[in-house]
Amino acid sequence: MDDQRTTDVWTRDDRRTNNGRRRIDDRRTTGGRTMDDRRSTPDGRPTDHDRRTADIRPTDDRLTTGRRPTDDDDDYYNYYYYYYYYYYYYYYYLLLLLQLLLLLLLLLLLLLLQATAAVAVVVVVVVGGGGGAVTAVTIVVIVVVVVVVVEVVVVVVVVVVVVVVVVVVVVVVVVVVVVVVLVVVVEVVVVVAVVEVVVVVVVVVVVVVVVVVVVVVVVVVVIVVVVVVVAVVVVVVVEVTAAATTTAAVIVVAYRIFKHVTQNLIG
Residues 110-125 have pLDDT tens digits of 555 555 555 555 555 5
The boundaries of the domain holding residue 97 are: 82-266
Asked if the structure places residue 157 within a domain, the reply is yes
Asked if the structure places residue 108 within a domain, the reply is yes
- Contact status, residue 124 vs residue 135, Cβ threshold 8 Å: yes
- Contact status, residue 187 vs residue 181, Cβ threshold 8 Å: no
Asked if the structure places residue 26 within a domain, the reply is no
Q: Please identify every stretch of the chain with a pLDDT value under 50, giving residue numbers as ranges.
A: 1, 4-5, 10, 12, 15, 25-28, 33-39, 48-53, 58-73, 130-131, 133
Q: What per-residue confidence (pLDDT) applies to 223?
A: 77
Q: What per-residue confidence (pLDDT) applies to 261?
A: 66
- Contact status, residue 73 vs residue 66, Cβ threshold 8 Å: no
Written as one letter, the residue type at 29 is: T
Asked if the structure places residue 143 within a domain, the reply is yes
Asked if the structure places residue 206 within a domain, the reply is yes
Angle made by CA atoms 37, 39, 44, in degrees to the nearest 5? 130
What is the chain's alpha carbon radius of gyration, rounded to the nearest angstrom? Answer: 49
Q: What per-residue confidence (pLDDT) applies to 65?
A: 47
Q: What is the DSSP letter of 169?
A: H
- Contact status, residue 156 vs residue 141, Cβ threshold 8 Å: no
Q: What share of the chain is helix, strand, coil (3-state, %, to 5)?
A: 70, 5, 25
Q: What per-residue confidence (pLDDT) applies to 127?
A: 54
Cα dist from 88 to 94, 164, 192, 237, 257, whole Å = 10, 67, 109, 46, 17
**E strand or H helix at 182, and its extent?**
helix 133-189
- For the CA atoms of 237, 242, 245, 248, the dihedral, rounded to the nearest 10 degrees, stands at -120
What residues have CB less than 8 Å from 138, skipping those under 6 apart?
none
CA dist 223 and 217 (Å) reads 10
- For the CA atoms of 148, 150, 151, 155, the dihedral, rounded to the nearest 10 degrees, stands at 140
Give the number of domains in the chain: 1
Q: What pTM does this model have?
A: 0.30
